[in-house]
């Protein structure tokens, strides 16, 4: 019995890009063999799973390999990584694996794909290198990573056809690098995640003159960050964040608990500075957060006065109003530090009415309900809550509309290819390109898996695409969970399971006893005796109507599954997973 169900995101058939649909296939007289090919294995039409590929003849560059966190339609899935099947088939052509910065949506998939790609040379900045290597210790069975440290201004020849120049960009983590790639077809820019900040904390501003010089050298195509392309104006400076946080610290009562992302090194430096200014001790709580803090301290990216940082075990050695706790879980993740505090499950920290809580992060799309639950529970506890919608206490790491237009005006690309954002964000970014004078036909809104061909004068989509479907990680399993398993999990989550156990005499085809029924998540058996009696009667009728000898058990199970499933739907308008179990005795 085939019953329609809500499609999972990984099942949805993406419609072909409507913009410039006439550009499918090479124009007359053009060959794709001498083009620069740009592809995305993730990061287009989504926020996360960033992985981009540049290919010219037998040379390939890979930019980033990140993870995407699952939504509610993917029960049990830990995260999603890019499908690297295309790259695996050409692994000997990969000349460089470029990592722009240390956020998980850009480097989180490295342990899962690096070996599949032939363990190519990795090029990245010092902080990103250390964060990647620290995480790599969790995978002791994998080979050592060949990482080369690069910095702002470094130029590296990769293969016969690519020369890569790295340039510093501002973000909410240090050591973020954009890439300028010289190719035989023309120069290509990947902006990485960036924003313009004239007063960054723990960092230096971007060198706008250098960006302008890239434009002077000629930019054939640019992939540009789209995350905040729907937000007007300029981004908020970290200096403004510091001033607003200062006002909160000054008036804060009780313990100050700040939820943020574990990789926001610059924000944690601000918190440390303010805690020292107002005489508070600092506790970092959360495995990934503490790991990143230690890496940043060792590298000098975080400076903490002696005695400021204390351990959780020292919490009760100081007055409550002299403690700052920096915790993970600002997105409402189950099991994270902040959620355990709110639910009263934390071993050391219990909320009190005079405490102050700051959400120093914006809400990642898809996490709205979890964050709202977290806020509601805090308000129920009577604590004072501050979040970014009340005042500027979080500056995103992504350029807003005016900054995006400035980047386009500085670089003056011939072709614009928005990336890193939902489809609406990429379209909005394309509209910004038109606003600064880039012709509509030169703006490319692509989907993951599409191959964009560039010559010096034209671009077009290949008629073929490459695999870019979800590869799901569940525990130790990588890619072994597909749509069929997800549909089963979804069915179990929505309507439960209904198991029918039958003992049948194979000679007579008759049931020896009344079937046993087990229900999980569907009905409470003790309150549905009439329904169970009808099901048993129906099962007996199905079994004893089967005349074939010996019994065709596969056919019989299908009949029971379909007929009982239809019967239960007619009676309850629910569709449990029906599992027939036949024992021949």
Q: Which domain holds residue 452?
A: 18-233+396-478
In a domain, 2, yes or no: no
- Give the end of a domain, one of 366, 387, 408: 387
- Residue 12, domain member (yes or no): no
Q: What is the full DSSP assignment across 48-67?
A: S--EEEEEETTEEEEE----
Total domains, the chain: 3
What's 321's domain CATH number? 3.40.50.10710
Whether residue 116 is predicted with pLDDT greater than 90 in this model: the reply is yes
Are 133 and 100 contained in the same domain?
A: yes
Q: What is the pLDDT of residues 56-93, one digit of tens each?
A: 999 999 999 999 887 666 666 778 899 999 999 999 99
Question: Considering only CA atoms, which of 296, 292, 258, 295 is closest in space to residue 275?
Answer: 258
Query: What tokens appear for 528 in the block?
Result: 């549905």
Q: How confident is the model at residue 264 (pLDDT cuts 50, 70, 90)?
A: confident
Integer angstrom CA distances of residue 152 from 131, 210, 358, 469, 476: 19, 11, 34, 34, 37
- Among the candidates 387, 417, 452, a domain finishes at 387
The Cβ-side half-sphere exposure at 18, using a 13 Å CA radius, reads 4
Look-up: residue for tokens 């890019």?
Answer: 82
Q: Output the average pLDDT for the chain.
A: 86
Among 28-32, 440-444, 521-525, top mean pLDDT goes to 440-444
Instruction: Tell me: do 163 and 217 sit in the same domain.
Output: yes
More confident residue, 331 or 204: 204
For residue 422, tell me if it sits in a domain: yes
- Looking up residue 523, the CATH number of its domain turns out to be 3.10.20.580
**Other CB atoms within 10 A of residue 415 CB:** 23
pLDDT number for residue 485 = 62
pLDDT in tens, 410-430: 999 999 999 999 999 999 999
H runs (alpha helix) in 64-188: 85-88, 104-107, 110-113, 126-136
Q: What pLDDT, in 10s, does the model give residues 364-391?
A: 555 567 777 788 888 888 888 887 554 4
My answer on whether 289 and 229 are in the same domain is no
**Does 229 fall in a domain?**
yes
The closest of 435, 416, 407 to 212, measured between CA atoms, is 407
Cα 519 from Cα 434, distance rounded (Å): 59
Q: Which of 169-173, 195-199, 504-508 has the lowest mean pLDDT?
A: 504-508
Judgement on whether residues 471 and 561 belong to the same structural domain of the protein:
no
- 251 and 306 part of one domain: yes
Strands 471-474 and 477-478: antiparallel
Strands, sheet with 155-158, edge to edge from the N-terminal-most edge strand: 155-158, 162-169, 176-182, 187-190, 221-225, 415-419
Comparing 124-128, 226-230, 336-340, 440-444, which segment has the lowest mean pLDDT? Answer: 336-340
Q: Are residues 46 and 184 located together in one domain of the fold? A: yes
Establish if 489 belongs to a structural domain.
no
Catalytic residue among 398, 419, 447, 474: 398
Q: Is 225 a catalytic residue?
A: yes
Among candidate residues 355, 387, 419, the one where a domain is terminated: 387
The answer to whether residues 381 and 406 belong to one domain is: no
- Asked if 453 and 26 touch (Cβ cutoff 8 Å), the reply is yes
- Pick the catalytic residue from 105, 225, 228, 474: 225
Looking at the structure, do residues 341 and 416 belong to the same domain, yes or no?
no
* 3-state DSSP percent of the chain in helix, strand and coil, to 5: 35, 25, 45
- CA pair distance 359, 556, nearest whole angstrom: 57
Separation of alpha carbons 478 and 142, rounded Å: 15
* Same structural domain, 87 and 177: yes
Asked if residue 173 lies in contact with residue 105, where contact means CB atoms within 8 angstroms, the answer is no
Residue in the block written with tokens 């190719």:
183
Q: Say yes or no: 168 and 294 in one domain.
A: no
Does any domain span residue 484? Answer: no
Whether 483 is covered by a domain: the verdict is no
177 plus 255 within the same structural domain? no
Q: Residue 17: count other Cβ atoms within 10 Å of its Cβ.
A: 18
265 inside domain: yes
Q: Tell me whether residue 462 is one of the annotated catalytic residues.
A: no
Q: What's the rounded mean pLDDT across residues 498-510?
A: 84
Contacts of residue 3, Cβ cutoff 8 Å, sequence gap at least 6: 565, 569, 575
Domain harbouring 213, CATH code: 3.60.15.10
Measured between alpha carbons, how far is 200 from 177 in angstroms, rounded to an integer?
15
Distance linking the first and last C-alpha atoms of the chain: 29
What would the two tokens of residue 313 be? 């075990």
Phi then psi for 325, rounded to 5 degrees?
-110, 120
- Each residue's pLDDT tens digit, 157-170: 999 999 999 999 99
Q: How far apart are CA 81 and CA 69, in angstroms?
A: 9
Task: Using alpha carbons, select from 53, 49, 45, 87 the residue that is nearest to residue 66.
Answer: 49
Three-class secondary structure assignment of 519-578: EECCCCHHHCHHHHHHHHHHHHHHHHCCCCCCCCHHHHHHHHHHHHHHHHHHHHCCCCEE
Phi-psi region of 499 (alpha: psi -120 to 50; beta: other; left: phi over 0): beta
194 and 312 housed in the same domain: no
Give how far the C-alpha of residue 368 lies from the chain's centroid of Cα atoms, to the nearest Å: 15
Q: Which range has the top average pLDDT, 214-223, 242-251, 509-518?
A: 214-223
């Amino acid at each position: 019995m085939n019953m329609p169900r809500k499609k999972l995101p990984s099942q949805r058939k993406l419609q072909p890009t409507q913009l410039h649909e006439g550009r499918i296939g090479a124009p007359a007289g053009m060959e794709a063999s001498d083009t620069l090919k740009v592809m995305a294995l993730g990061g287009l039409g989504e926020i996360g799973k960033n992985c981009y590929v540049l290919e010219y003849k037998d040379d390939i560059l890979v930019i980033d390999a990140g993870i995407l966190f699952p939504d509610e339609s993917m029960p049990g899935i830990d995260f999603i990584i890019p499908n690297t099947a295309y790259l695996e088939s050409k692994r000997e052509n990969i000349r460089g694996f470029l990592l722009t910065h240390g956020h998980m949506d850009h480097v989180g998939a490295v342990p899962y794909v690096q070996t599949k790609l032939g363990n190519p040379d990795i090029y990245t900045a010092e902080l990103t290198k250390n964060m990647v290597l620290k995480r790599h210790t969790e995978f002791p069975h994998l080979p050592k990573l060949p990482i080369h440290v690069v910095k702002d201004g470094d130029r590296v020849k990769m293969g016969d056809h690519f020369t890569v120049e790295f340039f510093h960009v501002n973000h909410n983590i240090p050591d973020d690098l954009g890439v300028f790639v010289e190719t035989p077809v023309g120069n290509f820019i990947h902006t990485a995640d960036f924003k313009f900040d004239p007063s960054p904390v723990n960092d230096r501003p971007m060198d706008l003159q250098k960006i302008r010089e890239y434009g002077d050298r000629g930019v054939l195509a640019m992939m540009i960050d789209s995350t905040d392309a729907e937000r007007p104006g300029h981004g908020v400076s970290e200096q403004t964040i510091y001033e607003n946080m200062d006002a909160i610290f000054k008036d804060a009562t009780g313990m100050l608990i700040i939820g943020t992302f574990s990789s926001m090194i610059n924000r944690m430096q601000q918190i440390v500075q303010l805690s020292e200014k107002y005489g508070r001790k600092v506790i970092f709580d959360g495995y990934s957060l503490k790991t990143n803090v230690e890496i940043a301290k060792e590298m000098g990216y975080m400076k903490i006065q002696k005695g400021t940082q204390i351990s959780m075990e020292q919490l009760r050695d100081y007055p409550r109003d002299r403690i700052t706790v920096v915790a993970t879980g600002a997105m409402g993740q189950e099991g994270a530090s902040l959620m355990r505090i709110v639910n009263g499950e934390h071993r050391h920290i219990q909320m009190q009415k005079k405490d102050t809580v700051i959400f120093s992060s914006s809400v990642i799309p898809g996490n709205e309900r979890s964050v709202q639950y977290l806020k509601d529970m805090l308000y129920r506890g009577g604590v004072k809550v501050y979040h970014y919608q009340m005042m500027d206490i979080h500056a995103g790491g992504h350029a807003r509309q005016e900054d995006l237009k400035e980047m386009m005006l500085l670089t003056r690309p011939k072709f614009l290819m928005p990336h890193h954002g939902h489809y609406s964000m990429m379209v909005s970014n394309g509209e910004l390109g038109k606003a600064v004078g880039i012709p509509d036909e030169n703006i490319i809104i692509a989907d993951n898996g599409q191959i964009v061909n560039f010559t010096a004068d034209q671009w077009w989509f290949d008629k073929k695409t490459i695999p870019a479907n979800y590869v799901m990680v569940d525990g130790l399993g990588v890619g072994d969970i597909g749509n069929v398993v997800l549909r089963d999990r979804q069915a179990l989550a929505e309507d439960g399971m209904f198991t029918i156990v039958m003992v049948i005499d194979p000679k007579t085809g008759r049931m020896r006893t009344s079937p046993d029924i087990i229900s999980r998540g569907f009905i409470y058996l003790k309150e549905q005796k009439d329904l169970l009696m009808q099901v048993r009667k129906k099962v007996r009728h199905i079994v004893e109507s089967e005349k074939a000898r010996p019994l065709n058990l596969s056919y019989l199970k299908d009949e029971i599954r379909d007929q009982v499933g239809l019967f239960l739907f007619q009676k309850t308008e629910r569709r449990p997973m029906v599992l027939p179990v036949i024992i021949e005795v």
